[in-house]
Structure 1
């Protein structure tokens, strides 16, 4: 081999080694859970039975999972199959990674959802014959036969396509916005039906990015509603706008500009709420149908319950659209999935963003972001990310095509993966707590004990934190919430056991009634969660 070729070979070898070394030293690990789920999950939710509900739209033609015999559907509106024997929803058992097909009858394209206090998933809207539909899924044990139920009545007062749901302190659900629906309504329905909310119709220089608005229930009982580049404080009891927040710099953030949002963990006396909104497409990229316009990486952070709230701006390590923001049991946030150019929409993005990013809210600005170990599967339009009870993040979906398409630069993705944050690394196993005993049900304000086992002696405070199970779709997890309970110092109880005294949230404004994943967290390492029912 001549010297120039030998030198080139050495440089390529060094470059490859540097990539491998970098990948090996970045925090977090990836694993393939299911090679073929049968469907590409556009909407994903974790149930209290440690199963995962995965849901796509119905008018996409054949999937890779057949319905059970006798469960085919007839749909005159379907664009491909009038008689359809393929599953468009499945349920995953997290213990065995087995998939069971489910039957859904009306189109669920770009629908919305939220768990009710009894653990039933309320699912709303969609397209065509699903536009005004209420559906329910009452989860069951993994070996059960639970399936979708489509309600003949009531119907939604307005069609809801690209709407957002949020459970309220009394256990009812508000349904906000949607394409052509600048209104809110409620389940169970209120007498006044759909209520106008003109704020949702505001536009920025002709660009209306108000779909899938970001909705967060604040601990004062009001709603933080963000659409386009602006936000309001909304009183859902009187259906009145209480205040306007300053605009967020960086252009529109909601669909199709494809940012994401999270409310940080509620802690202390639970009175203070901080909202973070990250990423999005450059202004005009969707209108111009540009697939290669670089996404921006700016994030805005605002104390929504403050007297004079203003946006604090910072930048992520990567520009990102279609990123999913997932609350970890520790209070940190992982941002995963998405692309670095283009916008949301079919065939509208490029340059997948394979690196997750950890957002550490307690660090000073400029030091909050940490780049994590990259995955290998592009997760583009219609991908999801959900926290599961063992502390991993379940990654599913990605289908940037109108139908299923497997021969493409970014093919329809049927694989399900899990990302394990650094707190699950082997060198931290000896400080990972195990919840040995916890009440199955607690009332608001109740004082109760949690019994925790840890291999090594506990140093400091063991936290007990409640994480909701949100409905994840289109880069926003509807109803996502983490509440850090007031706890006492851990008291040794013999044999590596510790007793932690806890006080439940004071009311439904802090944590709406329903099922939560309860995590014990020791030195930043969470236990496997135990499900707890919070009720009045």
Structure 2
């Protein structure tokens, strides 16, 4: 006897629930935070003061926000406006969604950055007169007046489209690659007069904004195009090469994205796995094909394995110019970008409006609720302390252009993953007590409250990356060892063991989250010290 139409629908639905759960429901919610932030942020970083640095480039002419008190930038090397009274960087306050103009002197177009251990942002390179410049900003709270400081010292060579990584000391960064710059260097220098060091894999095309990660043994994993190596930056030796990732090229202008999966106490933080997703079709950027379907493929490689290889999987939505964010839960959020084309002005279309969640343990994707704001070229995504994801930028034009299919985007919005939904309010933990400073291997106590019976407690620690061009520079997450929760008055307490050393989490400020049955608290900032 044949099956009825209704029975077939039920069976198909059940099969989908088992094998393609990512297609079932669109969850999460969106909120518009600011209709006009004044700039279209191509570089964004969340500070330990819970403010957000937003930064564009200077050679675009007027932005939508002026410098305060009649101040103007007089830059004789500027190619567009030698006298410019408009801001090209702002400080955003997620508490009230307001912005404050910042002053930046040289061109920061397609530059790179990272926080030092004291929370100071170091921002390097850019275009033209900014190509060798080093800028810093010591963050302040919402009521402060901190601003960019341009240093007198320069990089050893010009860096445009480079990537920065904080090294284990917490007071030195490595700056890798850049256009026509197949090399790396250090800031600050390890000795007077130190220059740069060549790295052959960074030659060629599709190799900009390389994916750089600090491995648990202190070496670096560096990925460009389809190739990757393990570099001992102390000796300058390439320890080994990894197998090529199958499929398409992944770095700018092909614009895939990457994330390191959480480092966990269960493996003594010695198991480091890198995930690389999406990007433009092979040859799309060479031929100028803005309609070529983007890649849906993701690859995972255990960079610390004796014989590593790529394990491939497809996303439910193909994507170029996506951002991959470590969520407090240990999942990866893939957000922003387009389904066709590649990175560049007007070189992509068919926006990817739905974020996608990836659970590394279950190896499953889930499609989340879509936005109505396309985020294409020069857009960013950053995790906030409250668990939301901040979205900014998108400018597919050489200058600020407010008409056409994809106008310059000045709006700032936030995506709330399902763990912030109304149904979870009763089980969301709230941190009550914690140390503001942590030493390696330290066992410390955290207390928290929760509306229902406690269970399934985790403590996770996230870095604060510098996000630009589909890569979150310096992003990492550590899952810390915790004791069984114990009652502590009206709250609960757990003993938490800090990471064992500075190659796991370099000295810096981190967001600490307590999770109750997979639901994270709001994060608190802690300083990891040596």
Question: Above 0.5 in TM-score?
Answer: yes
- Show the counterpart of 1:167: 166
SS at match of 1:99: strand
Matched, 1:255 2:252: yes
Matched, 1:149 2:146: no
Q: Measure the CA separation in 2 of the matches of 1:343 and 1:159.
A: 25
- Show the counterpart of 1:471: 466
Instruction: Give the gaps of 5 or more residues in structure 2.
Output: 1-21
Q: Measure the CA separation in 1 of the matches of 2:444 and 2:112.
A: 35
Matched, 1:488 2:479: no
- Show the counterpart of 2:4: none
Q: Measure the CA separation in 1 of the matches of 2:98 and 2:87.
A: 15
Offset of residue 199 of structure 1 = 1.6
- Show the counterpart of 2:213: 216
SS at match of 2:419: helix
Q: 1:513 aligns with which of 504, 507, 522?
A: 507
Matched, 1:397 2:393: yes
Offset of residue 78 of structure 1 = 2.6
- Show the counterpart of 1:198: 200
Q: Give a deviation string over 1:159-216, Cα, whole Å, max 9, x none.
A: 0100000001111100000011111101111333211111211x4xxxx111000001
SS at match of 1:485: strand
SS at match of 1:69: helix
SS at match of 1:286: helix
Q: Give a deviation string over 1:108-137, Cα, whole Å, max 9, x none.
A: 000000000000000000001110001000
Offset of residue 23 of structure 1 = 12
SS at match of 2:114: strand
Matched, 1:430 2:426: yes
Q: Please identify, of 313-322 and 72-81, the stretch whose mean Cα deviation from structure 2 is larger.
A: 72-81
Aligned runs of 1:221-260 on 2, under 5 Å?
221-260=218-257
Q: 1:452 aligns with which of 448, 452, 471?
A: 448
Q: Measure the CA separation in 1 of the matches of 2:453 and 2:522.
A: 19
Aligned runs of 1:45-84 on 2, under 5 Å?
45-84=45-84
Normalised by the length of structure 2, the TM-score is 0.94
Q: Do the aligned residues in 2 keep the contact of 1:468 with 1:481 (CA within 8 Å)?
A: yes
Aligned runs of 1:258-277 on 2, under 5 Å?
258-267=255-264, 268=266, 269-277=268-276
Aligned runs of 1:32-181 on 2, under 5 Å?
32-153=32-153, 155-171=154-170, 172-181=172-181
Runs of 4+ in 1 over 3 A off after TM superposition: 22-25
Q: Give a deviation string over 1:381-425, Cα, whole Å, max 9, x none.
A: 000000000000000000010000010100000000000000000
Matched, 1:498 2:492: yes
Q: Do the aligned residues in 2 keep the contact of 1:60 with 1:79 (CA within 8 Å)?
A: no
Q: Measure the CA separation in 1 of the matches of 2:201 and 2:165.
A: 18
Q: Measure the CA separation in 1 of the matches of 2:24 and 2:207.
A: 40
Q: Do the aligned residues in 2 keep the contact of 1:61 with 1:79 (CA within 8 Å)?
A: no
Matched, 1:186 2:186: yes
Q: Do the aligned residues in 1 keep the contact of 2:25 with 2:367 (CA within 8 Å)?
A: no
Q: Measure the CA separation in 2 of the matches of 1:225 and 1:25.
A: 36
Q: Give a deviation string over 1:352-380, Cα, whole Å, max 9, x none.
A: 0101000110014xxx1111111100000
Matched, 1:374 2:370: yes
User: RMSD across aligned C-alpha pairs, in angstroms?
Assistant: 1.2
Offset of residue 34 of structure 1 = 0.7
Offset of residue 69 of structure 1 = 1.9
Q: Give a deviation string over 1:10-34, Cα, whole Å, max 9, x none.
A: xxxxxxxxxxxx9995111000011
Q: Measure the CA separation in 2 of the matches of 1:387 and 1:317.
A: 23
Matched, 1:280 2:274: no
Q: Please identify, of 75-84 and 337-346, the stretch whose mean Cα deviation from structure 2 is larger.
A: 75-84
Q: Please identify, of 183-192 and 221-230, the stretch whose mean Cα deviation from structure 2 is larger.
A: 183-192
- Show the counterpart of 1:322: 321
Q: Do the aligned residues in 1 keep the contact of 2:78 with 2:129 (CA within 8 Å)?
A: no
SS at match of 2:382: strand
Instruction: Give the gaps of 5 or more residues in structure 1.
Output: 1-21
SS at match of 2:152: coil
Offset of residue 89 of structure 1 = 0.1
SS at match of 2:425: helix
- Show the counterpart of 1:345: 344
Q: Do the aligned residues in 2 keep the contact of 1:71 with 1:103 (CA within 8 Å)?
A: no
- Show the counterpart of 2:13: none
Q: Do the aligned residues in 2 keep the contact of 1:445 with 1:506 (CA within 8 Å)?
A: yes
SS at match of 2:106: coil
Aligned residues: 504
Q: Measure the CA separation in 1 of the matches of 2:325 and 2:100.
A: 26
Q: Measure the CA separation in 2 of the matches of 1:76 and 1:148.
A: 19
Q: Measure the CA separation in 2 of the matches of 1:360 and 1:475.
A: 20
